[in-house]
Structure 1
Amino acid sequence: MYINNKLYQEDIKKIIIEDFIFLKNKSILITGASGLIGSCIVDILMFLNKKFDFNINIFAIFSNIENFEKRFPSYKNNKHFNILVQDIANLFDYNFYVDYIIHAASNTHPHLYGTKPVETIKLNIIGTLNVFNFAKKNKNSKSIFLSTMEVYGSNYNIKAFKENDIGFVNFMKSRACYPESKRTCETLCHSYIEEYDLDIVIARLGYIYGPTVKMDSTKADVQFLAKALNNENIIIKSEGLQKRSYLYVLDAAAGLLTILLKGKKGETYNVAAKSGNVLLRDYAKQLAQIANVRIVFENATEQEQKGFSTVLNSTLNDEKIKSLGWNEKFTFNEAIEHTFKIKKELINA
């Protein structure tokens, strides 16, 4: 599995920083533990336990037991790993104490934005309410909420969004189910801080990619990866001129842990690096070159278009997160190469 892959292990080693020592002997609740980012964070924490005896107690929430069994079979009997099967849209009925809460669960599939907008809103908003109501019982805990660059919307006067910038989201389209519910969740963060004095920080993620991604995702970069892994030509269903902030999942996970440990209560931090600000077609070209395949342009179906973001520029300013001492460890080209190699090795294992 992932944690036994040598290149993946080397990538984990590369992102470990001295500040992680403050995680030693702590307990952490993670929602969305089988997802792209949540599962990577779990692996990092378990690596710290194994290699450095950090004694971190992990409570990992999965929507179903199959997600755990597919992703973490090697952790099944580990004393530091606690499996919780929970629909986060249902009430949390837990009495244990944790030091930190990482709320990473969310619908992140464009297909679901187009076909299940109500469920997307429900999962984000009700799930976040349940997480923070649990945090109320853990009065001295600190939480990090994983938001998205989509909350910025469109603003053609901004080259790279800073944390206090704002743009337009057309809430009269069902595709707004994702950014608008995430905006509401950010307001919930500030409301719980104001009313209940919770310690919460917000992370706005750019386009995160890496080997821990589930291959059933309908995100464009995952579809590109699926084609590349099958030695098929990569299909782009647009002109590919959307500019995004791409970031390797190991760098993103390290950034989130840095924000969790050093971020200021109530503050928001972009999780991105200037080095990853590229066009969608540039991402595809780099992956195609590594996989030795070509790029083909096709028209998207009407149903596919319903899930697409119409924002052309979603690049993020990285100054604030870097002020905490975080820096990306992987170049853009290196990260795409590692994504392809690790995933390929796991498939062939």
Structure 2
Amino acid sequence: MGSKNQAAASGANAADVVLFDAPVFSEDVARIAAAELPWEKYRNTEILVSGASGMIPMYIVGALLAANDAHGLGLHVTGLVRNRAKAEKRFGSALERSDFTLLAADVIDTQSFERNFSTIFHGASPARPSLHKSSPVTTLKANTMGTINLLDSLVEAKGDSFVLLSSSEVYGAVTGSELISEDDEGTLQHFAPRASYSEGKRIAETALAAYSDEFGIRGLSLRFGHIYGPGMALNDGRVQADFLADVVRGRNVRMMSAGAATRTYTYVADAVEGLFFAHLRGEEQVYNIADPAGNISIRELAETFAAARPEKKLELDFVNPEDGRSFSPVASLGLDAAKLTALGWDAGTSLTDGVSRTVRTFEDGPLID
């Protein structure tokens, strides 16, 4: 591996990292595996993680393998991906492990697996908003048909549990509350291509509830807020990835607006640790996963990224200069994570530390050109 300076220099052209071999990732998953959880529940199990090359699913894979190392569980993880060549680059040395198998297939197609999985973590879905717009049919199919296909596979294998990586978007527009709880319901404009993601996740949750009731499997839906951290590609297209790209490439952080809108931002390792708290300790069917302290404005997020490396002396650049002169955050609806925190989970990574660790991923490498 090259030096930190060499990695940072090559990062000018790289858009991604070999996440599994990144030091920050290794530190994060080791911390998750060290959490006081009943990891024994995974002993000698076959586990499938779909969408495995995505940020959150990769952390699930990494945490499971780290738990296998730490606790000698004898588990085996299969990572299901659509693009094997891309996934191989991100997984790096994980491909050499005997307790991990990378499998290329599309969840939209009917699945028949050689291994009988007892648990499925389903994260296969186009995540970038640009893909929801350019490929709404694929987005809809991955979330609906993909979920049903994997549920059928689990039932056929007489598996135990299915964990759906859902989204805060299932709530739609909720009024009259500062924080959205798992029982809240909002409105969605369903007759629109962009609804392929939000309505697709809603249908996936309904499918999970139906299969759980009829076949007796444990269904768990985890509604994530806005997640950031190692594993974001610089060309992802979401604001947190755009800000990361600006810092990595040493340019001022560009603001397309005043950044008044607020979102709930959670560091990916904290979010995945929350997932395992819900799966291994929880008894509810639905949990929000969001850092209560992470409900901040987009402008505050941009300022944190710009300040992550003081030596670069980065500032905010506003496309409309008027946006930089005054700033008044607008009211926002964040996620209420009280049910999850009641299980003992705590999002222990501050925004400053999380952003710094995310930037460090590209400084340390290894990078993908």
User: Partner residue of 2:307?
Assistant: 289
Matched, 1:72 2:103: no
The residue correspondences of 1:223-238 to structure 2 (distance < 5 A) are 223-238=242-257
TM-score, reference length from structure 1: 0.90
CA positional deviation for 1:45 = 1.8
TM-score by length of 2: 0.86
Residue ranges of structure 1 left out of the alignment (5+ in a row) = 300-310
Q: CA deviation at 1:75?
A: 2.0
SS at match of 2:48: strand
SS of 1:69's partner is: helix
1:290-314 Cα offsets, whole Å, 9 max, x none, are 1342222337xxxxxxxxxxx9734
Alignment of 1:1-349 (within 5 A): 1-15=18-32, 16-19=34-37, 20-264=39-283, 267-291=285-309, 292-298=313-319, 313-346=332-365
Pairwise CA distance, 1:2:
3.7
* Conserved 8 A contact 2:258-2:299: yes
Q: Which has the higher contact order (CA 8 A, sep 6+)?
A: 2
**Offset of 1:336 from its aligned partner?**
1.1
TM-fit CA distance, 1:53: 2.7
**1:320 Cα deviation (Å)?**
0.5
Matched AA of 1:104:
G
Q: Aligned equivalents of 1:32 and 1:140: distance in 2? A: 19
Quick one: which amino acid aligns to residue 354 of structure 2?
A
Structure 2 gap segments, 5+ residues each: 1-17, 321-329
**Which range moved further: 7-16 or 283-292?**
7-16
**Structure with max Cα Rg:** 2
Once residues 51 and 215 of structure 1 are traced to their aligned partners in structure 2, the CA distance between those partners, rounded to angstroms, is: 32
| DSSP 3-state at the match of 2:180 | coil
From the superposition, tell whether residues 2 and 64 of structure 1 become closer, same or farther in structure 2 (CA, over 3 Å): closer
Name the amino acid aligned to 2:147: T
Distance 1:199 1:142, change over 3 A: same
State the aligned residue count.
337
Q: 1:290 to 1:4 in 2, by over 3 A?
A: same
Write the distance in 2 (CA, Å) between the matches of 1:72 and 1:3.
5
> CA shift at 1:156, angstroms?
3.2
Match of 1:308 in 2: none
Q: Report sequence identity in percent.
A: 29
**What SS does the corresponding residue of 1:342 show, helix, strand or coil?**
helix
Output the CA distance in 1 between the equivalents of 2:301 and 2:100. Answer: 35
* Alpha-carbon separation, structure 2, partners of 1:281 and 1:65: 37
Amino acid at match of 1:186: E
The 2-side partners of 1:48 and 1:155 are apart by: 38
Deviations 1:98-123 (A, max 9, x none): 22110011111111122221221112
> CA RMSD of the aligned region, Å?
2.0
8 Å CA contact 1:35–1:214 kept in 2: the answer is no
Quick one: which amino acid aligns to residue 209 of structure 1? Y
Letter in structure 1 aligned against 2:31: K
